[in-house]
Structure 1
Amino acid sequence: MSGFEPFAELDPDYSEAGATACPWSVARELLTGAEVYWLSTVRPDGRPHVTPLIGVWADGALHFATGAEERKARNLAAGPEVVLTTGTGDNSMSKGLDVVIEGRAERVTDEVPLNRLAAAWEAKYGPQWHFDVRDGTFVNGGHAALVFQVRPRKAFGFGRGAHFSQTRWRFS
């Protein structure tokens, strides 16, 4: 997916006069640099579940890890459709961009991409986030974690500041 630019469309109903659509390159940079993301899943009984987590943007997808018995992993086993969000850090109305990705969480189990992702995790978050790859999982301190990737099916950018805007990116 490198070099791929989805179609960006400004929603005039939710954007101020003078606003422009945000280029995907700006959203991708935010997704790459963010330290914290929010994952929204649905429990088997239909109730929502939201949790913060760390992750890595690589190969056109956001990747995250979780223990097999954690709530988010159990939710994903029942229904893999998710929403991931991140944004600029100060939560002010005067500036920033929030990005929302909708997609399907899919397990990553192949050793080659897992090793690449483990190196990316450690490069981004430091040596305390070192993972070995074993049996299709990340392993740290004797604990195994499942690794998932979410490729955007639909994404939105909510701009704040001089002009409030809502951009929708379409993926084919």
Structure 2
Amino acid sequence: MPKSMLDTRYSDPSAEAVPWGVVAERLERAGVYWITTVRDSGRPHITPLIGVWLGDAMLFCTGGQEQKARNLAGNPAVALTTGTDALDRGIDVVVEGDAVVLRDEEALRVAAEAWAAKYGETWRFEVRDGAFHHADGGAADVYRVAPRVVFAFGKDPYSQNRYTF
């Protein structure tokens, strides 16, 4: 269980810390995440993707030729965000950590089942050679991000919460 802290400097006086279970559930249920990686030039690269919160880490996949994969080869630091564009309800979540390629085939099979359960048969992957393979012939590496820190931004009332691992 992560250590949590409500930052009262940026929270409504009536706010209470968002329980970690609520944040973890939001990470599990989200359909789309936004990932920020860092280009060789130091500029950020941000793109939407799908992924799964599995156990205690965020997983996502990408082809080796994609910009985010090229960025991660030089700098594994990432931020993954999800939430809602509503101003007065919901929770926005930011996961910060380092993305590490997952090669263990048993762990990849568990991840592949999680993808199919969450997103349907369109996103069913075959696991071989330490990667995901799609029916269309494409291959993707799977990355695991064990959070270093997670932020949750509550909106009713406004709160800023920090969870450290």
Same fold (TM over 0.5): yes
Query: 2:153 matched to 1:154?
Result: no
Query: 2:21 matched to 1:6?
Result: no
1:49 and 1:11 map into 2 onto residues whose CA distance is 28
Q: 2:49 aligns with which of 53, 68, 79?
A: 53
Secondary structure in structure 1 of the residue aligned to 2:64? coil
Aligned residues, how many?
Answer: 164
1:170 and 1:135 map into 2 onto residues whose CA distance is 34
Q: Which consecutive segments of 4 or more residues in structure 1 shift more than 4 A?
A: none
What letter matches 1:81 in structure 2?
Answer: A
Counterpart for residue 145 of structure 1: 140
TM-score, normalization: structure 1? 0.94
Structure 1, gaps ≥5 residues long: none
Structure 2, gaps ≥5 residues long: none
Aligned-pair CA distance for 1:137: 0.6
TM-score, normalization: structure 2? 0.97
Q: 2:16 aligns with which of 20, 23, 28?
A: 20
Secondary structure in structure 2 of the residue aligned to 1:113? helix
2:32 and 2:26 map into 1 onto residues whose CA distance is 11
Q: 1:66 aligns with which of 34, 55, 62?
A: 62
Q: 1:41 aligns with which of 34, 37, 45?
A: 37
CA RMSD of aligned residues (A): 0.7
Matches within 5 A, 1:86-97: 86-88=82-84, 91-97=85-91
Counterpart for residue 126 of structure 2: 132
| 1:104-132: CA deviation from partner (whole Å, max 9, x where unpaired) | 00000111000111011011100010100
Aligned-pair CA distance for 1:69: 0.4
Counterpart for residue 114 of structure 2: 120
| 1:73-118: CA deviation from partner (whole Å, max 9, x where unpaired) | 0000010000010113xx1211110010110000001110001110
Secondary structure in structure 1 of the residue aligned to 2:31? coil
| 1:20-75: CA deviation from partner (whole Å, max 9, x where unpaired) | 11111100000000010000000011110000000011120000000000000000
Counterpart for residue 79 of structure 1: 75
Secondary structure in structure 1 of the residue aligned to 2:40? coil
